[in-house]
Amino acid sequence: MDFQVVVLAGGSSKNLLPLVSKDVPKSLLPVANRPVLSYVLELLEQTNLKDLIVVVEGEDTDGLVENWISEAYVDRLHVQVASVPEEVGTAGALRAIAHHLTASDILVVSGDLVCDISPGAVAAAHRRHDAVVTAMFCSVPVSGPPESGSSGGKDKTKKPGRYNIVGLDLTEQFLLYIAAGMEVEKDIRVQKSILSAVGKMEIRADLMDAHLYAFKRSVLQEVLNKKQTFRSLKQDVLPYLVKTQLRSEILLNGAQAEENGNEKDAFSNNNKVMLSQLLANASTPSFHELYALGPNGFAPAERKTHKCCVYLASKSKYCARLNSIQAFSDINRDVIGDASHISGCSFSVHNNVIHPSAVLGSKTTVGPQCMLGEGSQMGDKCSVKRSVIGRHCRIGSNVKVVNSVIMNHVTIGDGCSIQGSVISSNVQLQERAVLKDCQVLSLSLSGFSFLFLLPEIGAGFVVTAGSEYKGESLARK
């Protein structure tokens, strides 16, 4: 399968501030004690897609990601890490690496995707329909769209999320309409030509764009070259291709003819042959072919079409994107809970993961759907429920941890209570500190030891003894 794979790993996403920074890139944030990027890389490896281009934003991120990949995937994957300027967007990132793209089809995957859906299935659907683009959509997570709200904060009411609104043909194979971002708030306006050609359209507002796309390379590069203002695949490139599928402006088979100045005649003649052959070989032609033939059974030159396809993941599959602090918390809990099959870990009979080197005190309990990392120690009479605790943490006695993510090298004093919170590496909680729905962050360079890149433990944020915080973001200045 002649596909080239591009993983868009990004840099320091604004939606994840202050969890991420130039020193702590998004792609290396931990999910169940391993970088989120590892989930995409291993999914591709399982599909036998092992030649990859990983695109990161910023030269600092380039070095961090390249070092980690070279250590974790030596002799397993062939990965080229390419750096692009920050804030260029997903379309801008592909535009910047266009000289690296040579295959006939390109598979583009977001580096923050955590799922158990085979990218090979999307690639196969793309080839089967000879589409210019195939986009994967999955059911919106129970907690709502990943873009909605953030974990913690003083306002505990979840903000209404922005869903995609998509229009599908009745076979659920072709993408007829899409609205994303601010377009969701506007009235739905569908082209008459689309409705006329397809007859009926199904409108869905319960689907999430997984940011996994298959593109015909020539088309993708043509659009990126012609539309220099396009920054986003989701909000610019995909809607453009969907809107123009029955009045295609892309070259496709007419590319050579345009160079000779005879595009219109060449397209008209070639398209008649192409469509007649396609219809003869297809038991059920798509509405694109029927529309291109025209009412008289032949293809007028002005009726150029291209196909935009959709791959709908089964509702039984897990699919989420780590693009907000709320999503960071949810995915960590999911991967040690209902989606534990994608964690890569062996769970005990108690449905938890406790590293063999971890030490538990007397009468300390680590409940189901929990993870305790390498070298971590817990004192007596502690309780951990539905939480992830990282490597080399030091936790005192009578500590309660519920629905939380604690990264590496965290020190927690006796009698602390932590609920619904995210605590980054090297933070220190003194005795009897109480945190509920908080984020406690250490922004020092040495604070990303959870990335397995630096062994040093830096001085992090200190939560003083006896203090209580609810819905706060605490960070070292």
Q: Evaluate the CA torsion angle 150, 151, 156, 158 in order and state its sign.
A: positive
Report how far Cα 470 is from the mean position of its chain's Cα atoms. Answer: 30
- Cα(306)–Cα(292) distance, integer angstroms: 10
Q: In sequence order, which residues have a C-beta less than 8 Å from that of residue 349 and are 6 or more positions away?
A: none
Share of the chain above pLDDT 70, in %: 79
Distance CA 20, CA 420 (A): 19
CB-count burial class (<10 Å; 0-12, 13-18, 19+) for 446:
middle
Phi, then psi, of 200 in degrees rounded to 5: -130, 150
| pLDDT for 293 | 59
Range with the lowest mean pLDDT among 251-260, 310-319, 464-473?
251-260
Residue 305: predicted pLDDT: 87
pLDDT at 456: 32
pLDDT digits (tens, 9 = 90+) for 55-104: 999 888 899 999 999 999 989 999 999 999 988 999 999 999 999 999 99
User: Which tokens go with 450?
Assistant: 């959870």
Instruction: Indicate whether 422 pLDDT > 70.
Output: yes
d(CA 294, CA 91): 34
Q: Phi, psi (5° rounding) for residue 174? A: -120, 140
Least confident of 100-114, 438-452, 457-471: 438-452
Phi, then psi, of 439 in degrees rounded to 5 = -125, 125
Residue with more model confidence, 374 or 439? 374
* CA separation for the pair 467, 431 (Å, rounded): 9
User: Residue 277: what pLDDT?
Assistant: 44
Determine how many CB atoms are found less than 10 A away from the CB of residue 131: 27
Q: What is the pLDDT of residue 474?
A: 85
Tens digit of each residue's pLDDT (9 = 90 or more) over 364-415: 999 999 999 999 999 999 999 999 999 999 999 999 999 999 999 999 999 9
Q: Which residues pair with residue 85 across a beta bridge? A: none
Summarize pLDDT for 206-215 with one digit per residue, the tens. Answer: 999 999 999 9
Q: What is the pLDDT of residue 321?
A: 95
Distance from C-alpha of 94 to C-alpha of 101, rounded to nearest angstrom: 9
pLDDT greater than 60 at residue 420: yes
pTM of the model as a whole:
0.84
Kindly tell me if the per-residue pLDDT of 129 is higher than 80: yes
User: What is the pLDDT of the chain when averaged over all its residues?
Assistant: 83
**SS3 sequence of the chain:** CCEEEEEEEECCCHHHCCCCCCCCCHHHCEECCEECHHHHHHHHHHCCCCEEEEEEECHHHHHHHHHHHHHHCCCCCEEEEEEECCCCHHHHHHHHCHHHCCCCEEEEEECCEEECCCHHHHHHHHHHHCCCEEEEEEECCCCCCCCCCCCCCCCCCCCCCCCCEEEECCCCCEEEEEECHHHHHCCCCCCHHHHHHHCCCEEECCEEEEEEEEEEHHHHHHHHHHCCCCCCHHHHHHHHHHHCCCCCCCCHHHHHHHHCCCHHHHHHHHHHHHHHHHHHHCCCCCHHHHHHHCCCCCCCCCCCCCCEEEEECCCCCCEEECCCHHHHHHHHHHHCCCCHHHCCCCCCCCCCEECCCCEECCCCEECCCCEECCCCEECCCCEEECCEECCCCEECCCCEEECCEECCCCEECCCCEEECCEECCCCEECCCCEEECCEEECCCHHHHHHHCCCCCCCCCCEECCCCEEECCEEECC
Of 44-48, 330-334, 372-376, 471-475, the one with minimum mean pLDDT is 471-475
